[in-house]
Amino acid sequence: MKIKKMLLLFAVICLCICVCACGGSDSEEPDAQTDAPAADVTEEQTAEPKTMSWGDWTVEVPADFELKGGDVFDENDTRYFSVKKSSFSYFDFKAEGEDRIMSNYNYNKETYTNEQTDVSGSFGGNDWVGFQYGDGYGGYGFEAYTTVDGEMIRVSSAGFAFDNEIVGEVLGSLKYTPVSAEAPETTEPAGETEPVEEEPTEGAPVYVKIIELKDVYMGIPEGYTEKKDGTPSQYVMDNDETGGRISIWNSSGAIEDEIASIMGSIDYELREETYVGMNWSIAVSDGYYCFGTQLGDNVLVITIDYGGTDEEMESLISAITPKGE
């Protein structure tokens, strides 16, 4: 009898323990699915490269890159476009014509000599020739050129070694697709009168752009390509026809000293001329010109490195307007 009572008591105790355990679980543990705040979930989207066009060219723009047309001098110039990721990671394309491409390529090859090695490769069926260089910080850049469908083009790249995978993707995607060949013929709307073009004054130079220097405004004549926009301290451009390089800058020295320093030991003719109310000292030596004028406390100096003429010099001077006038 005692054994039966003991067994019954033991069963009751076990039942109580089970009930308490179940009750504790329901009251102390919150439901993680219903009581916890929902986490923000953002789906990862894989950006795809895009094929984009500028002027007569199409190129594949990798994810996280952008296509920028033109250059710093003219955002509408279809000869230039860039595939850019940042100011330190980009591909600058320049379809400037064969003579200018080779001139600028050779100049850059003489300039970027750090860890320089010649490179070449075929991408998209086009054979590229160029050189790679080190940027001095462990990174690389390169210059190269090729001919695509009969059109020559040059690329200046920073942030990439020539054998980088993305280089092959970008250069291999480049295609020449002339807009003029695809554009439909247009007709003049009925009832409209053709505009009458005014004939320019004979001998007057045409200026396509006005730049601001330290003490003057200066017009850039037709037929020039900007090389360095260091305004207001310095401006450099090339004559597209002659290849002559024009440099313009401000100096605090005397005109005679500046000219003597620039001309060095070269034999030159020195003369004084007045153009558009400004007095100029002009040194000439076999197509090389150096001329300057006093502007307040400063001197404006202009040089034509080679291929210069009196007519070119006069057209450049005529494009200058001192500030305040």
If pLDDT is split at 50, 70 and 90, which confidence band does 318 have?
confident
Both tokens of 224, joined, read: 């020039």
Both tokens of 274, joined, read: 């007045």
Every domain range in the chain assigned CATH 3.40.1000.10: 50-180, 207-322
- Nearest one of 300, 78, 264 to 178, comparing CA atoms: 78
Average pLDDT, the chain: 77
> Residue 277's Cα: distance from chain center in Å?
38
94 vs 223, which has greater pLDDT?
94
Token pair 């597209």: residue? 240
Res. 324: pLDDT tops 50: yes
Q: Which CATH superfamily is domain 50-180 in?
A: Mog1/PsbP, alpha/beta/alpha sandwich (3.40.1000.10)
Res. 40: pLDDT tops 80: no
CA 268/CA 233 separation, integer angstroms: 26
Structure confidence at residue 231 (pLDDT): 57
> β-pairing, 298-304 with 224-230?
unpaired
Structure confidence at residue 5 (pLDDT): 52
Contact 282, 274 (CB under 8 A): no
What average pLDDT does range 99-104 have in this prediction?
88
Q: Identify each DSSP E strand in the chain by its residue range.
A: 50-54, 57-61, 66-69, 80-86, 89-94, 117-123, 126-134, 140-148, 151-158, 175-176, 207-212, 216-221, 224-230, 234-239, 245-251, 269-275, 278-285, 288-295, 298-304, 320-322
Other Cβ atoms within 10 Å of 285 Cβ, number: 14
Contact 304, 244 (CB under 8 A): yes
- Nearest one of 295, 284, 285 to 320, comparing CA atoms: 295
Cis ω on the peptide bond leading into residue 232 (within 30° of 0)? Answer: yes
Contact 161, 116 (CB under 8 A): no
What average pLDDT does range 115-138 have in this prediction?
94
Q: How far apart are the first and last CA of the chain?
A: 127
If pLDDT is split at 50, 70 and 90, which confidence band does 39 have?
very low
Contact 118, 131 (CB under 8 A): yes
Token pair 């009898």: residue? 1
pLDDT in tens, 253-300: 788 888 888 888 778 888 898 877 788 999 988 878 899 888 777 888
Of the listed ranges 191-195, 266-270, 302-306, the least confidently predicted one is 191-195
Res. 183: pLDDT tops 80: no
> Residue 276's Cα: distance from chain center in Å?
36
- 67 pairs with which residues across the strands? 83
Q: Which CATH superfamily is domain 207-322 in?
A: Mog1/PsbP, alpha/beta/alpha sandwich (3.40.1000.10)
If pLDDT is split at 50, 70 and 90, which confidence band does 15 have?
low
> Residue 33's Cα: distance from chain center in Å?
53
Res. 35: pLDDT tops 50: no
Structure confidence at residue 45 (pLDDT): 38
Contact 276, 325 (CB under 8 A): no
What average pLDDT does range 72-88 have in this prediction?
87
Structure confidence at residue 128 (pLDDT): 97
Both tokens of 52, joined, read: 């984009």
pLDDT in tens, 220-262: 888 888 876 655 567 888 888 887 888 888 877 788 888 888 8
Torsion of CA 164, 170, 171, 177, to 10 degrees: 180
- 294 pairs with which residues across the strands? 299
Both tokens of 35, joined, read: 């009581």
Structure confidence at residue 264 (pLDDT): 80
Q: Counting Cβ atoms within 10 Å, is residue 321 exposed (0-12), middle (13-18) or buried (19+)?
A: middle
Structure confidence at residue 205 (pLDDT): 57
Amino acid letter, 297: D
What average pLDDT does range 8-25 have in this prediction?
51
CA 310/CA 288 separation, integer angstroms: 10
CA 195/CA 209 separation, integer angstroms: 24
CA 139/CA 134 separation, integer angstroms: 6
136 vs 25, which has greater pLDDT?
136
Res. 181: pLDDT tops 60: no
Structure confidence at residue 11 (pLDDT): 55
